Structure 1
Amino acid sequence: MRKYLRPKLLVIDEVGYCPFGREEANLFFQLVSTRYEHGSIILTSNKSFAEWGELLTN
């Protein structure tokens, strides 16, 4: 996880290209919440924000 915390800017491309399973969604949440207030994140996706619930499961 440290290598994802080091850069001042983390670019995550094509969120939603493949749906996340429960474990992947949990790891993604951990990454975003850990980087909070430590560095910026840019996310790109071909899905609208309303469709993200389907991608990340509950």
Structure 2
Amino acid sequence: MILDDIGYVQHSRDEMEVLFTFLAERYERRSVILTTNLVFSEWDRIFQDPMTTMAAIDRVVHHSVILDMMGLESYRARAASAQKATPTPPQPAAS
């Protein structure tokens, strides 16, 4: 299961309880890939409760591989820069 951009959009407490339950159920049973722009110290913004936050982080980091992508250029930003750098051909004049 891939969960992309966790924490990007604020969700209700009930929705975050569902997410925690999902992570707890998958813990040590199935793989989960998470992407987020938040460091672990900011995960309280996701789960809105310190105990739930710590329990979620504990389950996520146990047996995990963490890839820190800080400082790497976004592929979307790179594509936008490349597109801007490509000159557009002049448009024919309207007759």
TM-score (norm 1): 0.75
Count, aligned residues: 49
Cα distance, 1:55 vs structure 2: 1.8
* Ranges of 4+ aligned residues in structure 1 off by more than 2 Å: none
TM-score (norm 2): 0.48
Asked which structure has the greater CA Rg, the reply is 2
State the alpha-carbon separation in 1 of the partners of residues 11 and 40 from structure 2: 15
Is the contact made by 1:16 and 1:47 (CA closer than 8 Å) also made in structure 2?
A: yes
Q: For the aligned residues, what is the CA RMSD?
A: 1.0
State the alpha-carbon separation in 1 of the partners of residues 29 and 46 from structure 2: 25
Q: Which residue of 2 aligns with 1:55?
A: 46
- Higher relative contact order, chain-length normalized (CA < 8 Å, sep 6+): 1
Report percent identity of matched pairs: 35
Where do 1:1-58 residues align within 5 Å?
10-58=1-49
Q: Give 1 or 2: higher strand fraction.
A: 1
Cα distance, 1:20 vs structure 2: 2.6
> Unaligned 5+ residue runs, structure 2?
50-95
> Unaligned 5+ residue runs, structure 1?
1-9
